Structure 1
Amino acid sequence: MMTVYKTDNRVLHEVEEMDPGVWIMMTNPTMEESQEVAEQYDIDMADVRAALDEEESSRIELEDGYTLILVDIPATEIRHESKNYTTIPLGILLTQECIITVCTEETPILQHFIERRVREFSTKKKMRFVYQILFRTAAMYQSTLRIIDKKRTDIEENIGGNTEDEDLVNLHELESTLVYFATSLRANGVVLERLSRYKRLEQYPEDTELLDDVIIENKQAIEMTMIYRDIINGTRELVSSVINNRLNNVMKYLTSITLVMAIPTIISGLYGMNVSGKWMPLSNTPYGFGIICLGTLIICILILLILRKKNML
């Protein structure tokens, strides 16, 4: 899908023609749409469709007549029948006439501009628009990281209750997401550093301050990712230790019960042997069976007391 927007008097509206100063938003575009944009602005087809490859890494390339900026942005996906977070590429193409964004799916980052929730936004000020996109990207990373930490907190609160293997799986998913985030944020940071050095890209003086803010927000997102990753790693070890401790307690109880139940089994086994009765104690004594049962019960009670004293029960 391809949609063309333009700001007039600070008001964004959709237009039909690709006039100078427009923003072309391409969401999972077809080959025909990609070909149309590539021919209109003399852009290499591979660069137009670069963001559609999930394996593409963040980078910036200065070509004749246009500039390609690729960054990773947060996105959601379904893994193990649950909603999780990942990163996808977002391509930004700057030409002399317009700015083009390419992504495989709709993202809240661009929806903020469509819904007119970004101040001082203009499709004609291309570099400021790029920095505003990157600022929203860093802000979305931070917002998603807070959601991830909230999920971790919910799992941690259930540790004292019904902790299951599913909690370990969920923590592993969160930790994997933070690995993706950390890698993407570092790559985005390299792109931002290069943007601050390139003089070919025309920008207004106030845009430099906005770029500095973007760099700071990106670094803060990296720090949050590392902190939350360490915390989740500690929580995962805690959950694993709790599960192992409960398993050890179950095995301890079962061992104690087996030990107690072995006493009657041994005694009844001895008296069930096919030998002469005169050699078996209490075999010819009145109430011998009751005495043996009582003695067995006393021995079991003594063992229970000993095990309880040693915290085995």
Structure 2
Amino acid sequence: MQRLVLSFVLAALLNICTGADWCYQSQVTCGGHCKGPVFWNQVNTECGKSRQSPINIVTRKTVLDETLTPFRFNGYHTAFSSYIKNNGHSVQVNIPDNLATVSGGKLEGTYKAVQFHLHWGNNGGPGSEHTIDGEQYPMELHIVHMKEKYSSLTDALKDRTGVAVLGFFYEESSSTNRRYDDFVQALGKIQNTSMNTTLNSISLERLTLSPGNMTSYYRYEGSLTTPGCTESVVWTVFEHAIPLSRTQLKTFSSLRFHDGKPMVDTFRPIQPRNNRVVYRSGTAVVVASVGLLVASLFVTLGLSRPN
């Protein structure tokens, strides 16, 4: 009986010492104690609900919403200094309070930027959380915002639309993205969990897309993609991807989880859409329509020319 009690105590201590009950699938081992994505609902029941993220966006099933107008970004161009930290699951940068906001795009008012983090694969392989028509990109950036009226993310998550996350894909490029030089170099200083270093003079504008590439996007209601998986997120997933070289993408895989394993495949698998509607902005459709019109015109002119 004493041995049985001792076993339970040791198991409890192991859970406390690891610092987290949940982990990514790449961390799961036969003798391990963390719960992979399939069992996250045992860590938090929210993870088993019906409006979970990420999802696969099937473009032909998206619904055009012409009220999904371009966003209004305020402070995205403002340079700031902050810590970049290996938090044991990803790299995260906290954004100074009230530095940057986003509105428009059919959001319910103005949302202020709180932090950003990333999800990636293994040495530049597939690693984004959301997928487009089944395609998984190498990496995905999440800029987390909350409604201006809230003073903490905890409070914002109690509101069904309290949090707005802007998601950006990355794609492999043949050339180095110099805008990311300082960010990628900082990764070498935060290899292990809880390590951090200072990032100087960065801006959200520098890390994202040009304004012209931020008008085509998808919108749906979902959740956080890590436990507690709270279903209070208005998701915006941009169509265009940020270019990074293969070497830059691979640098993220040099980080390590809290257990010392390589920090790779840090994404939650696709969740059921459960009849949720995914909307698309009107701009993407307009651009596509213009392209089709021009192509049709060339074909028509070509056919009308005499031999």
> TM-score scaled by structure 1?
0.20
> TM-score scaled by structure 2?
0.20
Compare relative contact order (CA 8 Å, sep 6+) and give the higher one, 1 or 2.
2
- Give the number of the structure whose residues are more often helix, by fraction: 1
- Give the number of the structure whose residues are more often strand, by fraction: 2
Q: Which one has a bigger Cα radius of gyration? A: 1
